[in-house]
Chains A and B, each alone.
Chain A
Amino acid sequence: MTGSRTKFWHEFIETAPREQLERLQEARLLRMLKQCYSRSPLLGELWSAAGVGLSDIHSLGDFKARAPFMDKDSLRTFRDRHNDPFGGLVRPTDPMLRMVTSTSGTTGDATPLTWSHRSLGETAYQRNYYALGARSGDYILHSTFTFRVGQRQTGPAESGLIPIVIDHTPAEIPRMIEASLRFRPTLFVIMSTPLMIAFEDYFEKTHIDPHDVFSSYKAVIFGGEALGPRQRALAQNWGIELYEMMALGDVSIAIECEMHDGCHPNEDLALIECLDPNGTDPVADGQVGELVVTMLADPLLPLIRFRTDDLMSVNREPCGCGRTQMRYKMMGRKSDQIVVSGRSVLPMNLRMAIEDEVESRAGLFQIIRPHAQMDNLRVRVGHNPEALRTSAAAYSHLLKNKLESLLNVQVSIELVPDAELLKLGPPHKIPRVTKQ
């Protein structure tokens, strides 16, 4: 931190010219490789198989030209072949190992990940909280989960912020309101689609004024999935400004700035490449590519050229907020792409059409994909039975026609109540693509 008058927690790093940032990345990358090459059996195996050694890498250029890729399957395959629960990331006896966290597990068995001290995400949160206006002594409403970083709250504590910790569940809406009115927090972390549905319902039933409840918040961080236009409009009605948060490939997180033109990752902590989703060539800024991330800050989590399956577009122009670090927009998951009668469909293509209808304004839906290619797009759509303006069958027919017209593919609709659909995922999101 460079002083109380700066807007940024790490001003030099967050506003450094790109050539300085790249020099820093190179220094950290070379150090990182040296630290983790011998301690990670997975890394050693992958690089050895690719015929690449540490002595081949002297620069960022060498790395991008020669370093092999890994992905979640690399960890799983190594784990199964070697009966190694750590997936070869580290050796179980590594004296620096302090935490084994895990991925969300939204669609299956969560994948364990290793940390030396604390999650890199906590540093990212620290920087973003500060940039969003939270200062030492401020309360923040903290409604997340324990499975990522546990209960130690080291990031807020080091920042002098005081988290009011409330479970992330719609049942806690009254307490979130009580905490907001009593402690007047400056940040809300994290708002999600299920929470927004519950807040909307609660405000409608109680006639509590959302403007009063949220008046102290400088920012409300939204996570779990991409932020849709309906949530932004709802937030505007409540007098809050939502800032989208994205995962950075299981390495860290990234959050929007006040320009709302993409999420800022911390490029000094993780090297980001945007590559052809089906190849290895870089994709031009503004084009859609796959997020490939390399950890630069924790040798106990050696995700090196880790193909995340996330589709992104990158902007490296200096941002209006003052940062020189890139910003990116997430476009969905590569594996969520569905081919229906030869046409590519992503969940985001359906979302607005579904959210626009009052019956399904919560925007809860799943694409059912038993096979990679289908002749018929099957969509399970959540709805509020009390909001039906006509029969369920007629509403289903309306949605079918609307989506068929929009996507130009055959669609079949399965209507289920919102409450039932919310049971299919963790409390902050539902899987958007499912096999059944």
Chain B
Amino acid sequence: MSWTIPTVVGRYLEDGKPKFLPLSEAEINRATRAYLRVLDSYDIPAGSHVLVVSLASQVAYFMPLERALADRHYVISNADASVFDAARVEMFARRFNVAAVFGVTTDTLDGLASLGHAPASVLAGRIVWATPAAYARLAPGSGYTLRLWAELGPAVGAECSVGAGLHVSSEDWSMDAADGELFVSSRLPRLVSFERQPTGLRGVIDRTPCACGSTDARVNL
């Protein structure tokens, strides 16, 4: 396992602009373990079908997730997080017993709407991890288990089954807030280190253990 050679180069956003984010195998493995802590809080049986909705450029956040899903023997399908590929999201949801959909964005919701599909009916009965903007649009609805997923600069957060804040790996990241704005700093060796990197998000940090058993810091946006 290399600490110095990138496995992949993804991107993170700084002030809304993409910056290259090289990741080592060690970093990806740690992020995979962080996702496993979140996934294991749900009772999704092995062999369940899960749909991952993402853009290729989000590889830094979704490669570890897919490794975690594979580790738990889930059956994985993919769709692009775009207006155009919302048809694929709908197809998988209509044809398969999809237990969970990860990474729903407003583009996906807009695409579903443009095809005449009510997102609530497409996502009914499933665990749905949505970006903050998509979460806000889905929150008034019902019939699905809605959880938050968010990029926090180079870090990532995902809500566990309890749904009481985004879990952010405390192994990898220390978090702080100033005037409500959230910052992340890297704790362990990384190919690119971060010191008080702005996340572009505002929220409150909760360092108490979660009811799911995790001691990762939680963020409430």
Contacts and interface: CB of A to CB of B under 8 A. Distances in A.
A and B bound? yes
A146 B5 contact: no
Contacts of A142: 56
Given A137-B5, A153-B8, A93 B47 contact: yes
A165 interface: yes
A313 B82 CA distance: 36
Interface stretch (A100-108, A196-204, A364-372): A100-108
Interface string B38-63: 00000000010100101111110011
A294 B87 CA distance: 29
A146 B80 contact: yes
B75 A98 contact: yes
Nearest to B25: A157
Given A99-B75, A151-B56, A151-B78, A157 B91 contact: no
B95 to A, nearest CB: 4
Contacts of A79: 95
B206 interface: no
B162 interface: no
A139 interface: yes
Interface in A153-180: 153, 156-157, 162-168, 172, 175, 179
Contacts, number: 126
A143 B9 contact: no
A427 interface: yes
A157 B7 contact: yes
B84 A426 contact: yes
A146 B9 contact: no
Interface in A198-231: none
A150 B76 contact: yes
A427 to B, nearest CB: 7
Contact of A152 (B18, B67, B97): B67
B20 to A, nearest CB: 7
Interface string A109-140: 11010000000000000000000000001010
Interface string B92-132: 10011100000000000000000000000000000000000
B87 A105 contact: yes
Contact of B59 (A101, A151, A168): A151
A166 B8 CA distance: 11
Contacts of B63: 151-153
Nearest to B83: A423
A41 B217 CA distance: 48
Contacts of A156: 8
B55 A179 contact: no
B6 A162 contact: yes
Contacts of B145: none
B170 interface: no
Interface string B122-161: 0000000000000000000000000000000000000000
Contacts of B47: 93, 95, 97
A147 B78 contact: yes
Given A166-B57, A167-B57, A109 B91 contact: yes
A182 interface: yes
Contacts of B7: 153, 157, 162
Interface string B1-39: 000011111110000001010100000000000000000
B95 A165 contact: no
Contacts of A193: none
Interface string B79-91: 1101011011001
Contacts of A182: 20
B185 interface: no
Contact of B52 (A151, A164, A168): A151
A36 to B, nearest CB: 18
Contacts of A168: 56
A300 to B, nearest CB: 11
B88 A163 contact: no
Contacts of A150: 52, 62, 66, 76, 78
Residue from the set A92, A150, A166 with the largest chain B CB neighbour count within 10 Å: A150
Nearest to B57: A167
A152 B28 CA distance: 11
Contact of B76 (A99, A162, A167): A99
A110 B77 contact: no
A151 B56 CA distance: 7
B56 A164 contact: no
B96 A85 contact: yes
A138 to B, nearest CB: 12
B211 interface: no
A102 B96 CA distance: 12
Nearest to B90: A109
Nearest to B49: A100
A12 interface: no
Nearest to A112: B95
A313 to B, nearest CB: 32
5 contacts: A97-B47, A101-B77, A102-B88, A146-B78, A165-B8
Interface of B: 5-11, 18, 20, 22, 47, 49, 52, 54-59, 62-63, 65-67, 70, 73, 75-80, 82, 84-85, 87-88, 91-92, 95-97
The 7 closest A-B pairs by CB, nearest first: A85-B95, A164-B9, A151-B62, A165-B59, A150-B78, A167-B57, A100-B77
